[in-house]
A and B are shown apart, each in its own frame.
Chain A
Amino acid sequence: MTTLVKPSQLPAWVNIESLLPYIGTILLIVGASFTFPQVLSIDYLSQQLQIAAFLGILAAGATLVILLGHIDLSVPWTLNGAAIVATAMAGSGNEILIACAIPAALLFGAVVGAINGLGVTILRIPSMVWTLAMNSILLGISVLNTGGFNPKGESSATMSWLASGTVASIPVAFLVWMTISTALALLMMRTGYGRYLRSIGFNERAVYLSGVSTKTVVTGAFMIAGVCSAFAGVMLAGYANQAYQSMGDPFLLPTIAAVVIGGTSILGGRGGLFGSIGGALFITILNSILSVMQISDAWRSIVFGVIILAMLLFQTLRKRG
């Protein structure tokens, strides 16, 4: 952000749609700073980057699924389940289990994603319904497993470090988020897989007819999204030093909103990870500033809805005009 790039050198993924949430974020911070100068402090901003990372990692995975024209509504309980798995293993006292806590949680996410993907590709069940059912099942398993109480266990040192640590006073969570987003962005832009994924979002039939195993591509994307959800769960558990029931529920709508206001079309094909990063930043800052302003939950909810709709209307009406 320090060097300004001439417009002609801008890569294709930087466009008005994907820049909109960044512009919004800056406007929010600048606007709020007149009344609340503390929002310009390094501490505040670095804390926001840390908090935005949870949403950002979820949004990164969701971006792939939404680019396909699908949606993953199992985010909340994939996150929650992974958090429960990780904290249960980390709190077991057994060193091997503790060391395996994070890989096991990520594996859990991959398995959930695979089941999501197989239902969508083989049975052709609309992803909205199938992932919804998956979410209910995961909730059910968790309730049965924990007896409805908060699960036992605690986070490991690694988990806490991932969520709350800093490297050179930059939050580790933010670095993790950027690493995941960059890796996925490279996957999307530099590999055949990424090309397939984007193309399927526009027209799955034509991609299939070009000799592509679209089932593999779609299932893979759901698996990546599952792993992202699980990673966010691990970090959130690290942040709170525990897993708790329904810890993922507040993240579903902001995740989808972050992707969509970042310029990714819910119909698939158009958009990318750069916009989703901005979307996650915008939503986190918006929430934070509304709470700094001591606005009630009710009004926050209304402002939240109105602003998202306004940004989407801006996008679609601009295209038409």
Chain B
Amino acid sequence: MEKQKVLELSLAAAKMRRLIVDQVYAAASGHPGGSLSIADILAVLYWQELNIDPKEPRKADRDRVVLSKGHCSPGLYAALALRGYFPVEDLKGFRQTESYLSGHPEMNKVTGVDMSTGSLGQGFSSAVGIALAGKLDQKDYKVYAILGDGEIQEGQVWEAAMSAAHFKLDNLVAILDNNNLQISGSVDKVMSPYPIDEKFAAFGFEVIHIDGNDMNQIEGAIHKARTIKGKPTLILAKTVKGKGVSFMENNYKWHGSAPNKEQYEQAVGELDAEIARLEKEVAAQ
């Protein structure tokens, strides 16, 4: 990837991170940690890789994204708003009674959301269904399912994985946000899903390891997944939970809690500095 492109995607991710923190602070609830960890993945998908058109959000041949870890809606909403699916201003209503931006994504309310998710494990099955429909109808869209590493403790994930390989769904790419933290602590201490790569490989997936906060590696993995034939791909993305906000990084307590005013101001200070730095670098190129 060209340096300019890396900078642009990094800027998009930084803006998303700012909006994630804004949403969770305004709502005084929500899930910042896992939203921040997937911002770079969302940037590569929504700004570069997906065949989508915000002006035609239900286009039949579009690529789909299923946020199976639906609690990370602030990340998805930030991406969709910045890409023009709905006004950025609306993010202020996140989780509020009058708003359409629920705690978990709703396909019938939020333009650009391809599947309602929130009950963990279920989105992955739905992604398998959308990919299966693509095969049955001989369409060439891709389906990207974003899963959490705690989420894969759900048995349904493995039922879905078995079926994805059985149906040879090479149009399905699972991206696993491996930040190693869930609501109660370390994933390996709560109920270890490791070795994740060997498990998915045994279930019939092509497994690609990446640093999920590195634009080049994310892009490389998505491009490689397109070349895999006859089986689905798992991109095992090692990420930092809370990425971009110093005091939230690698701290499970930020899985599902909102910052107070002081913490919010610190977070915004850090993120705005990063946005300013990236804008300057982009302009200098």
A binds B: no
Residues of B within 8 A of A (CB): none
